[in-house]
Amino acid sequence: MKRPDDGILLVDKGEGEMSHGVVKKVRSALRQGKRYKVGHAGTLDPFATGLLVVLLGQGTKLSRFIMAGEKEYLATLELGVETDTLDPTGRVTAVRDVPALSLDHIRETVRRYEGTIRQTPPAYSAVKCQGLRAYALARKGLPVKLKERTITVHSISIVSVDLPDITMRIRCGGGTYIRTLAADLARDLGSVGRLKTLRRLKSGPFDVVDAVFSGDISSESLVSILEKGVSLRNALPEMGEIEVDSMLAEKVRQGYQPGWNELARMVDTVHPSFKRIENDREVFMKLVSGDNLLAIAKKDDGEGGHEKVKFERVFS
């Protein structure tokens, strides 16, 4: 990355670390007397490990787009014991025998959780409840009532079974709580359960194999680590992009909002991304100029049927 404060950094978070602790470490290493904006795209619980997408500078504007991407996890469910947090860090709330379970029965039960399903977030989560984070209420022993939500689980494959442990590889959409999925599955298997281990392998197009270990991040190592960073333009590789000239790019940065026809004239051929936008106004696209990401936009009907380009994010 040309500028270390703009883009994203893939980090392999260690067990016991808080996600915001990793962000703080990166910010501290970057600062060196200056102020840098740093965030992340999707929290990992302290007991969990794996891919944390850290957002640097203007990369924080990409949060909603990266968080919406598909996730992949390696998770181990421990049957027979349940905790209030549904993970190893909580207080034991239930203990139950583990029945004899065949691999075929486990696979058959797991298949019920694939597809579009309804799920209630756990009490120990960052979901808002009565104006507060649910975990803040739960920690005080107050009742937490959260609404069911629709989630998508693309696939669950059984990696190994060594009862009481069942290890699974899970591909799912954003907003899925693997702790809840594990606890619900345990009950369907005739017992109770908690998530014993959790590791995020992928987030959108990014893989933990390309990440730097969080324990290696320091002011001294940051220069070499940032060489592995991802630029703003490459941070959303699955999103179509349209090249604009430098003159229009500068006008956009100054607040200009072009009409759709004006943008169309800049596309020499029938660009696949542009054609898709023409047919679906809700599809986002990247506007790029040279090596730089200029904006993320979508088509907007505008007033009087005048079609414009609606900017969701603009980058300097």
Domains of the chain in start order, with CATH, are: 7-68+206-232 (3.30.2350.10), 71-203 (3.30.2350.10), 239-314 (2.30.130)
**Residues annotated as catalytic (active site), given as ranges:** 45
- Using DSSP, state whether 157 is helix, strand or coil: strand
Structure tokens at 43: 């929290």
CB crowding 210-234: b at 16 or more within 10 Å, else e: ebbebeebeeeebeebbeebbbbbe
pLDDT averaged per 10 residues in sequence order, the chain, 316 residues? 71 94 88 76 93 94 90 98 94 96 97 94 77 75 82 97 98 93 96 97 95 89 81 89 86 83 63 51 80 85 63 88
Amino acid at 312: E
Residue 229, amino acid: G
- Note the pLDDT of residue 33: 52
pLDDT of residue 279: 47
Residue 170 Cα to chain centre, angstroms: 14
